[in-house]
Amino acid sequence: MSFQVFGIPVSRGVAIGRAVLVASSRVDVAHYFIAPDQVEAEIQRAVRARDEVAHELTALRDDLPEDAPHELAALLDVHLMLLHDEALTGATKQWIVDRHYNAEWALSAQLEVLARQFDEMEDEYLRERKADLEQVVERILGALAREQGKAPVDASSVVQRDFAGEDPLLLVAADIAPADMMQFKRSVFHGFITDIGGKTSHTAIVARSMDIPAVVGTREASRLIRQDDWVIIDGDLGAVIVNPSPIVLEEYRFRQRQSELERARLARLRHTPAVTLDGERVELQANIELPADAAAAVDAGATGVGLFRSEFLFMNRNGELPSEDEQFEAYRAAVEAMKGMPVTIRTVDIGADKPLDRMSASELRHEHVLNPAMGLRAIRWSLAEPSMFRQQLRAIYRASAYGKLRLLIPMVAHLSEIRQVSETLKRVQQQLTDAGQAFTPVELGVMIEIPAAAVMLPLLLPHVDFISIGTNDLIQYTLAIDRADEAVAHLYDPWHPAVLQLIASSIGQARAAGKSVSVCGEMAGDPAFTDLLLAMGLRNFSMHPSQIPSVKQRVLRADASRLAEALPQLLESPDPQRTAALLLTSKRGNTPMQ
Q: What is the DSSP string of 512-537?
A: HTT-EEEE-SGGGG-GGGHHHHHHTT
Domain boundary among 121, 152, 183: 152
| Half-sphere exposure for 192 (CA within 13 Å, toward CB) | 35
Which stretch, 214-218, 453-457, 486-490, 562-566, has highest mean pLDDT? 453-457
Q: Tell me: do 137 and 175 sit in the same domain.
A: no
pLDDT of residue 70: 67
Same domain, 468 and 360: yes
Least confident segment among 114-118, 290-294, 445-449: 114-118
Q: What CATH number is associated with residue 55? A: 1.10.274.10
CA distances from 389 to 28, 197, 310, 321, 438 (A): 30, 31, 12, 11, 19
What's the CATH number where 211 sits? 3.50.30.10
583 located within any domain: no
Q: State which H helix or E strand residue 399 sits in.
A: helix 386-399
Contact 3, 245 (CB under 8 A): no
What is the predicted pLDDT for the residue at 277?
95
Q: Which residue has the higher pLDDT, 556 or 130?
A: 556
> What is d(CA 177, CA 180) in angstroms, rounded to the nearest whole number?
5
CA 292 to CA 307: how far, in whole Å? 14
Say if CB 482 and CB 373 are below 8 A apart.
yes
- Say which residues have a Cβ less than 8 Å from residue 424's Cβ, sequence separation at least 6: 386, 389, 390, 393
Does 175 share its domain with 300? no
Tell me: do 253 and 354 sit in the same domain: no
In tens, the pLDDT along 339-374 reads 999 999 999 997 655 555 544 433 433 444 356 667
Residues flagged as binding site for phosphoenolpyruvate: 309, 346, 472-473, 483
pLDDT at 557 over 70: yes
Active-site choice (79, 190, 202, 544)? 202
| 3-state secondary structure (DSSP) of residue 162 | coil
Lowest mean pLDDT among 108-122, 270-284, 321-335: 108-122
Residues β-bridged to residue 446: 409, 467
Strand ordering across the sheet containing 169-173: 3-6, 239-242, 230-234, 14-22, 169-173, 189-194, 214-216, 8-11
Same domain, 399 and 524: yes
564 within some domain: no
Q: Is residue 574 part of a domain?
A: no
Known binding positions for Mg(2+): 449, 473
pLDDT at 532: 95
pLDDT band at residue 434 under the 50/70/90 scheme: very high
Please report, for residues 11, 166, 168, the alpha-carbon distance to residue 17 in angstroms, rounded to integers and kept in the order given.
Answer: 16, 10, 5
Number of domains in the chain: 3
Per the annotation, binding residues are 309, 346, 449, 472-473, 483
Give the end of a domain, one of 133, 152, 171: 152
What percent of the residues of the chain are helix, what percent strand, and what percent coil, each to the nearest 5?
55, 15, 35
Amino acid at 360: S
Reported as type and span, the H/E element at residue 365 is helix 361-369
Q: Within a domain: residue 200?
A: yes
pLDDT for the residue 588:
64
Query: What's the confidence (pLDDT) of residue 371?
Result: 63
Lowest mean pLDDT among 9-18, 324-333, 414-423: 9-18
| pLDDT confidence band for 162 (50 / 70 / 90) | very low
Task: State the pLDDT at residue 120.
Answer: 78
Distance of CA 577 to the CA centre of its chain: 27
Residue 246: pLDDT band with limits 50, 70, 90: very high
Same domain for 69 and 181: no
Structure confidence at residue 96 (pLDDT): 94
Mean pLDDT: which of 80-94, 186-200, 315-329, 413-427 is highest? Answer: 413-427
In-domain check, residue 565: no
Please check whether residues 309 and 446 belong to one and the same domain. yes
- Reported confidence tier of residue 592, pLDDT bands at 50, 70, 90: very low
Q: What is the mean pLDDT of the chain?
A: 85
Given this model, what pLDDT does residue 317 score?
67
Q: Is 55 a catalytic residue?
A: no
pLDDT > 80? residue 28:
no
Which secondary structure element, helix H or strand E, spans residue 500, and what is its range? Answer: helix 497-512
Q: Which domain holds residue 46?
A: 36-152
| Lowest-pLDDT choice from 87-91, 503-507, 590-594 | 590-594
State residue 163's pLDDT score.
41
| Contact of 273 with 33, CB cutoff 8 Å | no
Per DSSP, helices labelled H in 31-154 are 39-62, 70-84, 86-99, 103-119, 124-148
Same domain, 355 and 492: yes
Q: What are phi and psi of 272, to 5 degrees?
A: -85, 125
Give the span between the Cα atoms of 327 and 324, in whole angstroms.
Answer: 5
pLDDT, tens digit (0-9, with 9 covering 90-100), for 168-199: 889 898 877 655 665 666 567 889 999 888 77
Range 11-26 average pLDDT: 79
pLDDT for residue 15:
94
* Those residues with Cβ within 8 angstroms of residue 259's Cβ, 6 or more apart along the chain or in another chain: 13, 14
Residue 127 has pLDDT above 70, yes or no: no
Share of the chain above pLDDT 70, in %: 85
Beta strands 3-6 and 239-242, pairing class: antiparallel
CA dist., res. 161 & res. 493, Å (int):
38
Structural domain includes residue 452: yes
Sign of CA dihedral 296, 302, 305, 307: negative
Q: What are phi and psi of 110, to 5 degrees?
A: -70, -35
Its sign, for the CA torsion 242, 248, 250, 253, is negative
Using one digit for the tens of pLDDT, what is the confidence trace for 44-85?
999 999 999 999 888 888 877 776 666 667 778 888 888 888
Same domain assignment for residues 364 and 504: yes
For residue 215, give the H/E element and its range. Answer: strand 214-216
440-468 average pLDDT score:
97
- Does residue 135 form part of some domain? yes
Q: Which of 264, 286, 317 is the last residue of a domain?
A: 264
**338 alpha carbon, distance to own chain's centre:** 23
Asked whether residue 93 is assigned to any structural domain, the reply reads yes
pLDDT at 487: 76
Instruction: State whether 78 and 196 are in the same domain.
Output: no
In this structure, the number of other CB atoms found within 10 A of the CB of residue 63 comes to: 8
Three-state secondary structure call for residue 18: strand
Q: How far is CA 204 from the centre of its chain?
A: 6
pLDDT (0 to 100) of residue 594 = 40
Residue 31: the pLDDT is: 80
Catalytic choice (79, 100, 190, 520): 520
Give the C-alpha separation, 551 to 285, whole Å: 11
Domain match, 165 and 139 both: no
- The CATH number given to whatever domain includes residue 483 is 3.20.20.60
Handedness of CA 365, 313, 470, 380 (dihedral sign): positive
Are the beta carbons of 371 and 482 closer than 8 angstroms? yes
Query: Average pLDDT, stretch 491-518?
Result: 96
Annotation marks residue 520 as catalytic? yes
Query: Do 282 and 243 reside in the same domain of the chain?
Result: no
